[in-house]
Chain A
C-alpha cells in the first residue's frame, strides 16, 4: 500500500498522540505498553522512511498548517531515529531504574504509563515543531516542549530533579517569552509591509522576505536569537541545561540533547532565514560566531573539572551546539551541510552516550565518576561501548562526528576566519582533555567498589551499535547514498536562504 505525503504526515502525527493518550489512561499492563510503544515508534519510523522515499527534496510540500521541505525532512529523520532508539531501549531502562537495589523510580506505581504518555507526547510535539509552517505555531510548540519535558525532567520528584526543573522552566520560559516578543515584532513588520493575510506563514514570509524593514528586523532578530538561544543552550543562557540533562531520566536526557536542542536550532534557523535578506549576514554571522565560540569556551572548564557523568555529557552537547551555531554563522555551503550532518551525528551519538551513562549509573549506583574504576574488568561490555561512544563523541574516525566536524572546521578556513578555526581546535582539544581524562579513570585501574553486574543487555547493544554504525554509514558514504545526499544539499541551500 502506498500513501501520499499528506497521509504519511497524518500517520506520523497521529500515532504517538493516540498512544500517549492510551497509555495515560490506566488500562493497559506493562508488557502491552512496552510492545505497543515499540510498535508505534517502529511504525512512525517506517512512515518517515516511506515519506523520505516518496518525498522529492526539490518540491517542498505545503499544506495549510503543514509545511515539509528538505530541512524539515532532515529533522524528521533525526527525530525519527531517536524515537526508534528510544522505544527499543526504554523497556530495559525502566526495568533497570525500577529494580530494587539502585533504581531511582522504584517508589512509583504505574510509572510505565506516565513515562510513555509524557515521552510520546514530547516526541509528538517535536514532530509538530518541524512540521508546522507558522512562526507563531513554532513558538507555541517549542514552549510546549519545554513544559512537557519539564514534567519529564521532574519525573523522579527528588529534590534535585525538582530544583533542576524549576530552573529549567523559569529560565527557559523567560527566554521563550523574549522569543515571543521577537515573533510579535516579526508579525508587526509583516503587518506594516504586507498586511495581515496569511500571517506569520513561513513560506509567505520567505517569499516576501526582501520587503522587510531592516531596523525592526534586526530588533526582532535580537529577541529571537536570545530567546531560542536559551532553548539551544548557548552561553550565557545555558545555565538550565546541565541541571536538566543531569537530573532527567537517561532516555529523556538523550531526547532533550539529541532532538529538542536540534528543534530549537531548527526554529531559530527558520526565523533567521526570514530575516536574513533584509538584515544582511554580517550581523547574524557575528552573533552566531561569537555566541557559538563563547559557548564552547564556557563548556570547556566545566568538563575539565567535573564529577557528574551526565553533566559532563551535557556540557559536551553545549560544545557541539556551539560549534554548530558557529558553523552556521560562517554561511558557506560546506559548513552548513556539515552542520546539518552534525545535528544528525550528534543526536545519535549523544543519545547512545546518555543511555550508556544511565547504564553506568545503574551499575554503580552513583553519578560520581570519581567513585567508578576498573569498568574494563567488571563490566567489559558496557565499558567497550562507553569507550566507543566517547571516541565517537570526541570526533574520531571512523565514527560520524569526525566527518561533520572536519568539514565544519574546514568552513572556518575557506570563509577566511582561519584564526577562529585555530581557536576552535584549541577549545576542542580542551574538551578532549577533560572528557577523556574522566572516562579513562572510569575504564582503567582496578575496581574499588562492586558493580551491580552487567546491566547492558543484548538489545541495548544492538541498538547502540546500530546508532553508531548508522552515523558512520551515513557520514562516510554520503557521496554514495544519493537520496540523503540530495536531501542534505537542498537542506543546506534552504539554510543558507539563497545567500551564499
Chain B
C-alpha cells in the first residue's frame, strides 16, 4: 500500500505544473507527463500485487479519521487497467500535448495528473465518503479538462452538459450510499457490507446506484453527455475518459452489486442486462451514422459499455438463479471486455488525435488515402478497428466471445418460454451489434485511410512524431498479444471474480456447463499459428512471380475517375439508415439553390442530420419545460412592496393556523 501511496504522491508532484513559471511551459509539460508515466507505472506494479492476492482485503487509515484507503482484487483489476492506460497515453501525450503550447499547457499537465490521481483514489478508497470525494474530484477535473479549449462555444456547452449530467449521476450515487450507509454502522465499505437494507429501500438503493453509475458509463438513455464531451476534450483526455473513467463506473457498480446490495433479486440483473443490450445496439447504430471521427468513437464507447454491462447483468441474473459458478463466466467476460475496451478505445482515440494533428479535421468526409501519408498510424488504426469490430487475433474477440458464452450459459438454464424469449432478444441484439460494429469501423477506416484524398487537407498530412507512434504501437501490441494469448488475462480476471479458475483439458478458454460434459473452445494461439503458417505459403505462392503491374487508372467507362466518385461516408451507411429508419428517423432537407431551368444548371443542396433520439424526445423538452416554468414562476416577484408585505402576512396566518391545528 505504501507503494501505492507513493504513486499518489508522484501524481501530486505532477500537479506542480499548475503553478509552474510561464517561461518554461514546455519543461512543465514534460515534467507533468513524466510524473504521470512514472506514477502510473507504479500503479501497475502494485495493482499486480493485489490481483495475485485476489480477495484479500486490508485497510489503511490515513491520519485523518474519516478517510480510509483499501484495495482488493476487484479494485486491483481496474488499477491495472488504469495504470496501463495511464502509462501509454502519457507517453503519447508527451508529443501530442505540445500542440497546446501557449494555450494553458501547464494547466493541462497539472489537471492530467490530478485526473489520474482522482481515478486511482476512487479505485482504492475504502469508505463511501472518500469514494464520493474522489469521485467528485474526478468529475470536476475531467470537466475542466473537457472545458480546456473554452474559447469554442461548442466546447463550453459540451462541458456544461457533461457537468450537469455527471452531477445528477453523483447525486444518485450519493443517495444510494446514504441509503446503504444509514442502515450500517459507518460509511466504511467493510461495515456497509453488513448493512441491514431490505424491501423497497433496498430496491431504491439499487435503482439509484445503477442510475448513477450507468450515467457515468454512458448507458442509453443517460449517455447524452458522452458524444459531446469526448470530441470537445483534447484527444489524450478523451482517450483516458473513455478508456478508464467509464470503467471506473463499472467498478463502483460492481462494489454495490457484490458487496452492498447483493444480486439475489432477479429483476436487478434483468434491468442491467436489458439496458446494456439496448445501449449496445443503439450506440453502435448511431456510431455508424456519424461522420465526426471522435463522435463515432464516443458512440462506440456507449456500445462497448453496453456490452460490458449486459455481460455483468447476465452474471447477476445467473447468480440470482442460484448458479454462482456459472455467473463467474459472465463477470469474467465483463472484466476482460473492460480491459480490452480500454486498450482499443485508447488506441483509437489517440489515432483520432493523430489524424486531427495531421489534417486538422475530425470529419472523415474530408479525408481519404491517409494510409499512404501516414502508414504506421494507419497500421495501428487498422489493428484498433479490427479489435473494435471484434475480429479474431485481437483482444476484442476475447471479450465478445466470453460475453456470447455467458449468454449461452444463461440460455442453458432458460427453461421457461419467457426466459427463452429473453435470450433470443439478447442474441438478436448482440448479433446486430457485432455486425454493425464491423460495418462502422470498416466505414471509418476505409473512408479515412483508404481510397483517394477527398479534399486538399489530406495533402499536407504527414507521419506522426515518435512518442505518439510509440503510444499507438504499445496499445496495438498489447491488443494483439491479448488477442492471441488471452489465457493469462482471462485466468487473472477469473481469479479476481472467483477464487477458482475453470480450465478443462488444458484449453485456456474452455467453459464447462453444469451437467453436460461438453466444452466451448477457443484456442486463438493455435488458430493464429495455422493461419500464419498456411497464409505464408499462400502469400509466397501469390507473390513468388511478381506479376503485378500498374498500367493505368481504373476503367471508368472511358473517363478518368475523380476522387468525388468514391462512396462518401454518408452514402456508405445509407442502406443501414434505410433499414433502421424507424429508430433513427433522420431529418433530410433539400434546398434548390438555382432552378431557373427544370433540368439544366440547377444546383441543389442536400442536408442530412440524425438527431439523437433521446436528446430530441427526452432532454430538449425537459430543458424547455424547466426554462418556461421558471420564467413563468418569476411572476411572484413583481416588485410591489405591498404584495411582499402581503406574503409575510399570509405566511404568518398560515403558520398560526398550523400552530393552532397541531
B265 within 8 A of A: no
How distant is the Cα of A232 from the Cα of B641 in the complex, in angstroms? 18
A171 pairs with B644, CB closer than 8 A: yes
B631 pairs with A305, CB closer than 8 A: yes
CB-CB under 8 A from B167, the residues of chain A are 394, 429, 432
A61 within 8 A of B: no
CB-CB under 8 A from A495, the residues of chain B are none
B151 pairs with A240, CB closer than 8 A: no
CB-CB under 8 A from B171, the residues of chain A are 425-426, 428-429
Q: Which residues in window 640-656 of B have CB below 8 A to A?
A: 641, 643-645, 647-648, 650-652, 655-656
Q: Interface residue tally of chain B, by bracket?
A: 35 or more
Given contacts A237-B647, A287-B655, A479-B66, contact A376 B151 (CB under 8 A): yes
B151 pairs with A171, CB closer than 8 A: no
Q: Interface residue tally of chain A, by bracket?
A: 35 or more
B151 pairs with A422, CB closer than 8 A: no
Most buried by B among A229, A397, A402: A397
A10 within 8 A of B: no
How distant is the Cα of A174 from the Cα of B204 in the complex, in angstroms? 45
How distant is the Cα of A377 from the Cα of B157 in the complex, in angstroms? 17
B16 within 8 A of A: no
How distant is the Cα of A221 from the Cα of B204 in the complex, in angstroms? 37
B82 within 8 A of A: no
B175 pairs with A171, CB closer than 8 A: no
How distant is the Cα of A422 from the Cα of B204 in the complex, in angstroms? 11
Given contacts A230-B648, A421-B175, contact A225 B655 (CB under 8 A): yes
Given contacts A222-B659, A236-B651, A428-B171, contact A396 B140 (CB under 8 A): yes
B634 pairs with A302, CB closer than 8 A: yes
B155 within 8 A of A: yes
B136 within 8 A of A: yes
Q: Would you give the shortest CB distance from A236 to chain B, in whole angstroms?
A: 4
A239 within 8 A of B: yes
How distant is the Cα of A282 from the Cα of B645 in the complex, in angstroms? 28
B147 pairs with A444, CB closer than 8 A: yes
A240 pairs with B179, CB closer than 8 A: no
A218 pairs with B659, CB closer than 8 A: yes
CB-CB under 8 A from A428, the residues of chain B are 171
A219 within 8 A of B: yes
B168 within 8 A of A: yes
How distant is the Cα of A237 from the Cα of B646 in the complex, in angstroms? 9
B159 within 8 A of A: yes
How distant is the Cα of A46 from the Cα of B129 in the complex, in angstroms? 34
Given contacts A397-B136, A425-B175, A479-B65, contact A444 B150 (CB under 8 A): yes
A402 pairs with B151, CB closer than 8 A: no
Q: Which residue of A lies closest to B205 (CB)?
A: A418
CB-CB under 8 A from A397, the residues of chain B are 133, 136-137, 140
Q: Would you give the shortest CB distance from A410 to chain B, in whole angstroms?
A: 6
A463 within 8 A of B: no
B174 within 8 A of A: yes
Which of A226, A229, A436 is close to B163, meaning CB atoms less than 8 Å apart?
A436
Which of A171, A219, A409 is close to B648, meaning CB atoms less than 8 Å apart?
A171
A286 within 8 A of B: yes
Given contacts A409-B178, A428-B171, contact A240 B644 (CB under 8 A): yes
Q: Would you give the shortest CB distance from B191 to chain A, in whole angstroms?
A: 14
How distant is the Cα of A265 from the Cα of B133 in the complex, in angstroms? 29
Given contacts A283-B659, A440-B156, contact A302 B178 (CB under 8 A): no
B151 pairs with A301, CB closer than 8 A: no
A62 within 8 A of B: no
How distant is the Cα of A178 from the Cα of B649 in the complex, in angstroms? 10
Which of A175, A230, A242, A282 is close to B662, meaning CB atoms less than 8 Å apart?
A282
How distant is the Cα of A444 from the Cα of B158 in the complex, in angstroms? 11
How distant is the Cα of A479 from the Cα of B153 in the complex, in angstroms? 43
A301 pairs with B136, CB closer than 8 A: no
CB-CB under 8 A from A206, the residues of chain B are none
A480 pairs with B64, CB closer than 8 A: yes
Interface majority SS on A: helix, strand, loop or mixed? helix
CB-CB under 8 A from B126, the residues of chain A are none
Given contacts A221-B659, A425-B171, contact A236 B647 (CB under 8 A): yes
CB-CB under 8 A from B643, the residues of chain A are 239
How distant is the Cα of A402 from the Cα of B151 in the complex, in angstroms? 29
CB-CB under 8 A from A437, the residues of chain B are 160
CB-CB under 8 A from A171, the residues of chain B are 641, 644-645, 648
Which of B164, B630, B633, B639 is close to A432, meaning CB atoms less than 8 Å apart?
B164
A174 pairs with B151, CB closer than 8 A: no
A396 pairs with B156, CB closer than 8 A: no
Q: Would you give the shortest CB distance from A124 to chain B, in whole angstroms?
A: 28
CB-CB under 8 A from B636, the residues of chain A are 236, 298
CB-CB under 8 A from B150, the residues of chain A are 376, 443-445
Which of A174, A222, A237 is close to B656, meaning CB atoms less than 8 Å apart?
A222
B76 within 8 A of A: no
Q: Would you give the shortest CB distance from B66 to chain A, in whole angstroms?
A: 6
Q: Which residues in window 98-151 of B have CB below 8 A to A?
A: 129, 132-133, 136-137, 139-140, 147, 150-151
A477 within 8 A of B: yes
Most buried by B among A414, A425, A429: A425
CB-CB under 8 A from A170, the residues of chain B are 641, 644-645
CB-CB under 8 A from A304, the residues of chain B are 626-627, 630
Q: Would you give the shortest CB distance from A60 to chain B, in whole angstroms?
A: 27
CB-CB under 8 A from B168, the residues of chain A are 429
A421 pairs with B648, CB closer than 8 A: no
Q: Would you give the shortest CB distance from B143 to chain A, in whole angstroms?
A: 9
How distant is the Cα of A440 from the Cα of B161 in the complex, in angstroms? 11
Interface string of A386-429 (1 = CB under 8 A from B): 00000100101110001000100110111000100110011011
Q: Would you give the shortest CB distance from B551 to chain A, in whole angstroms?
A: 54
B63 pairs with A480, CB closer than 8 A: yes
A406 pairs with B132, CB closer than 8 A: yes
B178 pairs with A413, CB closer than 8 A: yes
CB-CB under 8 A from B129, the residues of chain A are 406
How distant is the Cα of A111 from the Cα of B467 in the complex, in angstroms? 62
A140 within 8 A of B: no
How distant is the Cα of A425 from the Cα of B633 in the complex, in angstroms? 21
Q: Would you give the shortest CB distance from A53 to chain B, in whole angstroms?
A: 23
CB-CB under 8 A from A418, the residues of chain B are 175, 178-179, 182, 201, 204
Q: Which residue of B lies closest to A424 (CB)?
A: B171
CB-CB under 8 A from B64, the residues of chain A are 476-477, 479-480
CB-CB under 8 A from A480, the residues of chain B are 63-65
How distant is the Cα of A498 from the Cα of B502 in the complex, in angstroms? 60
B164 pairs with A446, CB closer than 8 A: no
How distant is the Cα of A222 from the Cα of B662 in the complex, in angstroms? 12
B151 pairs with A178, CB closer than 8 A: no
Given contacts A222-B656, A302-B634, A444-B153, contact A422 B175 (CB under 8 A): yes
B641 pairs with A237, CB closer than 8 A: no
Interface string of A276-309 (1 = CB under 8 A from B): 0000001100110000000000101110110000
B516 within 8 A of A: no
Q: Would you give the shortest CB distance from A285 to chain B, in whole angstroms?
A: 12
A174 pairs with B648, CB closer than 8 A: yes
CB-CB under 8 A from A240, the residues of chain B are 644
B182 pairs with A413, CB closer than 8 A: yes
Interface string of A242-265 (1 = CB under 8 A from B): 100000000000000000000000
How distant is the Cα of A396 from the Cα of B174 in the complex, in angstroms? 13
**Interchain residue pairs with CB less than 8 A apart (25):** A218-B662, A223-B652, A226-B648, A226-B651, A229-B651, A236-B636, A236-B647, A236-B648, A236-B650, A239-B637, A286-B662, A301-B629, A394-B167, A397-B137, A402-B133, A410-B178, A410-B182, A413-B178, A413-B182, A418-B182, A440-B159, A441-B156, A444-B153, A444-B155, A444-B159
Known: A432-B167, A444-B155. 18 other contacts (CB 8 A): A167-B644, A225-B655, A236-B648, A282-B662, A283-B659, A304-B627, A304-B630, A418-B182, A425-B175, A429-B164, A429-B168, A432-B163, A440-B157, A444-B147, A444-B156, A445-B151, A446-B151, A480-B64
For the complex of A and B, 7 pairs with smallest distance between CB atoms: A444-B156, A301-B630, A239-B644, A479-B65, A301-B633, A413-B178, A236-B647
